[in-house]
Structures are given as C-alpha cells and as structure tokens.
Amino acid sequence: MNLYLLSPEISVFGLAIAVILLDLLPVRKGWLAAASVLGLGVPLGFAIALWGDWDNTFAGMLVVDQFSLFFKFLFLGVAALVILASADYVSKFPRFQGEYYALILFAAGGMMLLASTRELISIYIALELTAVSLAALACFLKDVRSTEAALKYIILSAISSAVLLYGMALVFGLSGSTRLEDIAAAVTAGRAWDSPPLLLGIVLLVAGFGFKIASVPFQMWVPDVYEGAPTPIAAYLSVASKAAGFAIVLRVFFSAFGQPETLSLDWGDLFAVLAAITMTLGNVMALPQTNIKRLMGYSSIAHAGYIMVGLASVTLISRDLGQSGVLFYLSAYTFTNLAAFIAIIAISNRVGSDLIADYAGMVRRAPVLALALAFAFISLIGIPPTAGFMAKIYIFNAGIQNDLTWLVIVGVINSVISAYYYLRVIRIMFLAKPVSEEKVPSSPALRLSLTLTTVGVLVVGLVPYPLLRAAEIAVRAFS
C-alpha cells in the first residue's frame, strides 16, 4: 500500500493533533490560529505533489484522481478561511480555542477522505468522522441554542446514516461487493439495473445523502443548526459540508449507477424533482425570516436545489456539462457564501445580535463590511459580474442541454424570488436609520479572509475560464 497517497489527509490529522499539543504550552492563543493556517501549507504541498499522479488507489478503497484533488484543494482553502474568520469570534470560548481549531481540521480531513472514497465502507467511515467533528463544533458555545443545534444535528445525522446503511446493504446484497467499480459491473450485467430492490437501495442512498446536501425533505435541521451554531461553523457547514456531500453523491451515482442510461435517467428524474422542490421551499421559507443566520440557512437549502440541476443532467450528451457544472457552482458558491458569512461574523459579533433589523444603517457604521455583504448577496441572486451569475448560467445551461427546460424555468423564477429577501437586507443596511453610531471594527485576519473571498467572487465572475477548466479536468475521472 502506498501511504504517500494519503499524505494530505495524514498531515491534516497530524496538524490537528499538533494544535492540541501547542495549546498545552504557555503561549498566546493567537498563535494557534496562525499555526493552523500556516500548517495547512503542508497538506497543500502534498496535494500539489500528487497532481498528475492520477488513478492510483490505496487498498482499493481510496483513489487519487483529478476529482479528489479538486476537492482537497477546496476543503483546505475553506478550512484556512474559516480559521482566519474566527479570529474575533473565538473570544467567546477562550479556554477551548485549541480544540476548536483542531475539530475544524479533523472535519476537513474527513471531507478530504470522503472525496477520495470509492468503496461503501470507507464512505461511511469518512462521513461519520466528518459528522462527529461538525456536531462537536456546533455546540461549542455551550448555551441553550448551541446545544439544541448540536443535538438536532447529531440525531438527524444518525437517522440519515441508518437510512444510508440500509441502502448500502441492499446494493451490496445485489452486487456482492462494496467497491463502486464492482457494483457498476454487477449492475450492468444482465438486467440487474431493473431490479426493484436495487431501485429501493438507490432511493435510500438518495435519502441518506440528502441530509448531507440539505435537500428536501431532509433539510429540516439546517435553519436551527445555523442559528444555534457558532457563526463561523455555520459558514463551514454551508460550504464545506455541502461540497463534501455533493462530491460523494457524484462519485457514487456516476461511478456505480451511471450505466446503463436507463437507470441513470431514473435517478436523474428523481434529482430533478427534488431540485425543483428544494429550491422553491428554501426561497419561500427565507422570505419571512428576521434572523440573518436562519435566512442564510434557507438560502443554503435553495442553492442545494440549484446545484442539483447538475445532478439531474445525466444523459450522455450533457453528462460532463452537468458534472463540471456542479463543481464550478460549488466553487463559486464557496467564495460567495463565505464572503457573506464573514461579513455577518464581523457585524453580529460586534452588535451582539443576529436580527436583520439590527443591521440598519450598517453602511455608515462599517461601510466595507456592508458593501462586501451586499456584493455577496448580489452574487447569491445571480447578477453579473459575479461568480454566482456565471455559476447559474453554466449549470442552467447543463439543464437546457439535458432537455430539463422546465427545471431551468423553475430555477430562474426562484432566483427572482430570492432577490426579494437578499435585497431587503441590502435596503436595511443602506437606507434604514442606524440603531447606533458606534463603529464596527474587525481584526486583520478577518479582513484578510473577507478580502480574499470578495475578490474571488469578482474574479470568478469576470474571468471564469480557469475555474471552469479545472472543473472540466476534475470530472474526467468519471469518463
């Protein structure tokens, strides 16, 4: 077995342990964040070194390919940005900063493993490693709302894991293997793809993974967990956890159930229906929200619906377009949603409230933060020249090419609906009378993370080709 194939994940776990040990020393707590961010350069270097060393497997369970490396880079970047954005927030739990940063790193390592898995048992282990770390992070404030958020997350996660295991058991029983390539061979042999137990297994897999990507009807945990969890962790859940969920959905469904096309059309239709319901429910439920974190929770649900348009694009003509569209949208959404959440972290942490009404006149108190948040919301709507606009154009094009015009129309209508609640927050920040004249300062680390994400939103919106090209290269793993 070639352990060097796991060098990025091993180094991330090693960094997490090193941060915990460093926390035992009499050093300033600020060094923990610096050590965490700088230490991520090691797994990043290992991941870069693996680039081009594709299709190598570790014990037949994990694979290093274009697809897995794409997500490794994404997860490492998100972890670094969330740690930077936490610089001010960690003052709420000064005694446990080492554990906080370590859990972020453990979750990142679990997600990196998840993107590389191509065997059912290793998929389950990586999912649980990620879920346990995120549940611990969700209750870090140790107040009533934070504890409730963690409890809801861990209970619903356990239920979804049980459903997922039932689906895996059915697929294993019919195929005789837990490896995705062996399952694909068994499915295409004879008429196994037309077996009712196999279709039931696929439905259960969709249900189990639906919790991870916040798809209807498995989205009920999102607003409550986002509201109760520390705001940086809500940001982490909204982008990293969602990206990990879509990564494993792509890996499982296009590797194991991509052929024959008759089978892929069946689960593609299922994803299409779920996409329409998910984006509609997310946007409609976001309209009456008065809490900014709950609004972002329902926004996250809606964007899961947009991304699922790519999953529904399964025909041989537009399959690559749909797959690369998912990756490109996830990347653009990462920049956009992190920019929004980082601005929210800075504002809410200073004003001591998550109510949208308390954002009144924020442009006078913190003009840079207000402008950054407004720009991120414009990107979430899908207005040019932002990353969100290019992402929606690309993924809706995949739907059109796949004869899912009805679904694209639903997506466009939902984008118009979403403009109401995003622009409402912008109107309050820019036109309402401020509740206070006190300025809203922020740390250099938070300003750095906000600058990086906001510039990313603009650059991807103006020059999308490099990221598009990277996404197209990544999905060649399924060819």
Cβ 448 vs Cβ 87: under 8 Å: no
Whole-number pLDDT of residue 59: 66
* Measured distance CA(242)–CA(237) in Å, rounded: 7
Report the alpha-carbon distance of residue 333 to residue 310 in Å, rounded: 14
* pLDDT attached to residue 15: 92
| Per-residue pLDDT at 256 | 80
Collect all residues with Cβ–Cβ distance below 8 Å to 175 and sequence separation of at least 6.
Answer: 182, 183, 186, 187, 192
pLDDT of residue 80: 93
Segment holding 63, helix H or strand E: strand 62-64
Q: Tell me the DSSP string of 32-57.
A: HHHHHHHHTHHHHHHHHHHTT-TTEE
What pLDDT shows up at residue 90? Answer: 81
Which residue bears the tokens 């059915």? Answer: 170
pTM of the shown model: 0.93
What pLDDT does residue 53 have? 64
The one-letter code for the residue type at 149 is A
How many other C-beta atoms can be found within 10 angstroms of the C-beta atom of residue 154?
18
For the chain, what is the largest distance between any 2 Cα atoms, rounded to a whole number of angstroms?
A: 72
- 293-311 in b/e burial notation, b at 16+ Cβ within 10 A? bbbbbbbbbbbbbbbbbbb
Spell out the per-residue pLDDT of the chain, length 479, in tens.
577 778 889 999 999 999 888 888 777 777 888 888 999 999 999 888 888 765 576 667 788 888 889 999 999 999 999 999 888 888 787 788 888 899 999 999 999 998 888 888 888 888 888 888 888 888 887 778 888 888 888 888 888 888 888 888 888 888 888 888 888 888 877 555 567 788 888 889 988 888 888 888 888 888 888 888 888 999 998 898 899 999 999 888 888 887 777 777 778 888 899 999 999 999 999 999 989 999 999 999 999 999 999 888 876 556 677 788 899 999 999 999 999 999 999 888 888 788 888 888 888 888 899 999 999 999 999 898 999 999 999 999 888 888 888 999 999 999 999 999 999 999 998 888 887 777 877 788 888 999 999 999 999 999 999 999 988 888 887 76
* Residue 479 CA, distance from chain mean position: 24
